[in-house]
Structure 1
């Protein structure tokens, strides 16, 4: 790490590397569970978001902003979810020009079947952590995300562009 750093203070770089490694570990475990059930991690993320939405669902743009990806990317993932009958596109009840995506009963069943083994896997990966440590870890991760979002807003001039 010192070879990469501009000085002796490598703690932030080491922390960032640790966060990335931890995130990749959790993502690999999650993707393994989703892949074994026929979904990519991106499609799983969308299905999870749709599972928490109200009965009107979400627009492609809302899904893209929430996931931090382009609308084009979300459109492809929604195509996958529709092919698997886990989600469907519907016209917005008040605005016929607006298309929304909703989860289907099969999508809810899929999430229910995925939930228990995922919770067991997450419990295993966090084995040895106390409840207080997990709460603190969650808090620190959310602070990291908030800092990143503020920095992105500042660097982007306050505008976020999602295609």
Structure 2
């Protein structure tokens, strides 16, 4: 699906989004920006899916495997760090374990807990994935300066921080316990 973007004094925009948002709100800038973030996230996900198609892992499973390539962790730690639910991480670990890429081991400090670590096969998978992923990111960010990439990262993470603050304010206290 190819979309036609045009330039104005502020940069690229999507005329169809501007028109739709204009019918919805008096001020369109933040709505257009949110739409652009969503569109960009889908573009990154589509690129990931192309790269992962031959590797048969979901983006979430890849995220966990990359984290585990640096060392073992509890499921709860993985969930918190990756921004997933513990239930979701458990399912992803099940998938990775079935593929022989991770293993669960009892935590010597807490016999009720398990730690998850990458196997030799998991480390090899990450090593094989590294160069295609690097090339894909270079293509995706073609024409961006290092400062623009850093600014984009900062802006996106600021959106996440703001969303988390709004969610905390809007979530009833009894459901947060």
SS at match of 1:98: strand
Give the aligned length: 157
**Alignment of 1:93 onto 2:108:** yes
Match of 2:46 among 16, 24, 28: 28
The reply on whether 1:136 has 2:151 as its aligned counterpart is: yes
Residue 13 of structure 1 corresponds to 31
After superposing the two structures, state which structure 1 stretch, 10-19 or 70-79, moved more.
70-79
Equivalent in the alignment of 2:59 = 41
Runs of 4+ in 1 over 3 A off after TM superposition: 157-161
Gaps of 5+ in 2: 1-20
Q: Quote the Cα distance in structure 1 between the aligned partners of 2:172 and 2:138.
A: 40
Over the aligned positions, Cα root-mean-square deviation in angstroms equals: 2.0
Q: Does the 8 A contact of 1:153 with 1:159 survive in 2? A: no
Consecutive unaligned residues in structure 1, runs of 5 or more: none
Q: Structure with the greater relative contact order (CA < 8 A, sep ≥ 6): 1 or 2?
A: 1
> Secondary structure of 2:109's match?
coil
Greater fraction of residues in strand: 2
The answer to whether the Cα contact below 8 Å between 1:89 and 1:100 also exists between their aligned partners in 2 is yes
SS in 2 for 1:102: strand
What's the secondary structure of 2:104's corresponding residue? strand
Any idea what the Cα deviations from partners look like across 1:8-54, whole Å, max 9, x if unmatched?
A: 201111000000000110111112212211111121111122123x3
SS of alignment partner, residue 3 of structure 1: helix
CA distance in 2, matches of 1:128, 1:160: 45
Residue aligning to 2:119:
104
Aligned to 2:80: 65
